[in-house]
Structure 1
Amino acid sequence: MEDDELAQIRVKRMAELRGATSGSTGGSGALPTGLVPGKAPGGGENDAEKLAQMEEIRRSMLVQLLDNGARERLSRISIVKPEKARAVEDLLIRMAQSGQLKGKINENMLIDLLEQLNEQQAAKVESKIKIARRTHDSDDDEDLLAGL
C-alpha cells in the first residue's frame, strides 16, 4: 500500500514540475529561460538543482514502473541508442501518469512496446519513400544522339 501511495505522490509531483516548466515557457514544454543543457544557467545553482531533482524523480518513477529485467534491457538500449531509450522512458512515464499502466512492466512487455514503436516508425519511413522510374521508350535519348 505504501508503494502505491508513494508512486501517486511522485506522479503528482512530476506533473507539478512539468506544469511549472511548461508554464514558464509559455506551454512549449522546453526548458525554462536560461536553462541550456551543458551550460551554466544565469540563475546559478538553483536551476541546476531543479534539473537534478527532476532527473531523480524520473529515475525513481522508472524504478517503480519497471522490474529488474526491463530496467536492464532499457539500460542496454540506452548505451546503443540513448534517444530511443529516452523516448521509451518518456512514453512509460506518460502512460503511468494517465493511468494506463496497472502494474510493473516486465521485460516481455517492454519488448512488445519496443516492437510497436518500431512498427510505427517503420510505417512513417515507408510513407515517405517515393520511387520515380523512367520509361525505356524515352525519345530524349534519340534527341541527344541526333545533336551529335
Structure 2
Amino acid sequence: MDDAELEKIRKARLEQLKAQGGAGGGGGGSGGGKGAPEQRQQQEDEARKAMLNQILEPEAADRLGRIRMVKETRSTEVENRLIMLAQSGQLRQKVTEEQLKELLTAVADNKEEEKIVVSRRKGWGLDDDDDDLFADL
C-alpha cells in the first residue's frame, strides 16, 4: 500500500514535469513571460503540498504549518528533506509528529554545527611592560 502511494506520487510528479515542459514551450511564443514562471511556481507549490499530505500524518502536518509561520526557512528545509526521503523510497509509512520532532532536532543540530565562532583578543594595544621601552623617547 505504501509503495502504491509512492508510485502515485512519482507519476504525479512526472506528469507535472511533462506539463511544465509543454506549457513553457507554448507560452514563450505568446509573450506571456511573466505568467509562466508564476504559474510554474504555483504548480510546484501545489505538488509539494500534495506530496507532503501523503507523507505526513495530520498532526505532523499541523506542526509543520505552525513552524512555517514562525520560521519559514526551517520548515522548507524539513519539507525538502521529507520529500527527498519519500522520493528515494526511505519512508515506509507516514511520518508521525514524534518523527517530525526528531527531524527538526536534527536540522537544528546541523545548524548549530555550521556556526562559526570568532573570538577576538582583548588588549591589542601596548602592554604595561612595553611602556618602559618607550619612556626614553
Over the matched positions of the two proteins, sequence identity in percent amounts to 35
Equivalent in 110, 117, 120 of residue 129 of structure 1: 117
Distance (whole Å) between structure 2 residues aligned to residue 134 and residue 69 of structure 1: 51
Inter-partner Cα distance in structure 2 for 1:145 and 1:19:
78
Structure 2 counterpart of 1:81: 71
Counting only pairs closer than 5 Å after superposition, residues 3-42 of structure 1 correspond to structure 2 as 4-14=3-13, 42=32
Preserved contact between residue 7 and residue 61 of structure 1 (Cα < 8 Å) = no
Give the aligned CA root-mean-square deviation in angstroms.
3.7
Corresponding position of 1:38: none
In the alignment of these two chains, the number of paired residues is: 128
The answer on whether the counterparts of 2:64 and 2:75 sit within 8 Å (CA) in structure 1 is yes
Cα pair 1:11 1:61 within 8 Å, conserved? no
Stretch deviating more after TM superposition (4-13 or 47-56) = 4-13
Q: Equivalents in 2 of 1:140, 1:8: separation in Å?
A: 76
Q: How does 1:103-142 map to 2 (within 5 A)?
A: 103-125=93-115, 128-134=116-122, 138-139=127-128, 142=131
Higher relative contact order (CA 8 A, sep 6+): 2
Amino acid at match of 1:104: K
- Do the aligned partners of 2:5 and 2:54 also contact (CA within 8 Å) in 1? no
Task: Structure 1: give runs of 5+ residues left out of the alignment.
Answer: 24-31, 33-40
CA deviations on 1:112-142 (whole Å, 9 max, x unpaired) are: 01111111111111xx113233479935762
1:46 and 1:132, CA in 2 relative to 1: closer, same or farther beyond 3 A? closer
Instruction: Return the alpha-carbon distance in structure 2 between the equivalents of residues 96 and 140 of structure 1.
Output: 66
In the alignment, the residues of structure 2 paired with residue 8 and residue 58 of structure 1 have an alpha-carbon distance, to the nearest angstrom, of 15
Q: Distance in 2 between matches of 1:123 and 1:139?
A: 39
TM-score by length of 1: 0.67
Larger radius of gyration: 2
135-144 or 70-79, larger mean C-alpha shift: 135-144
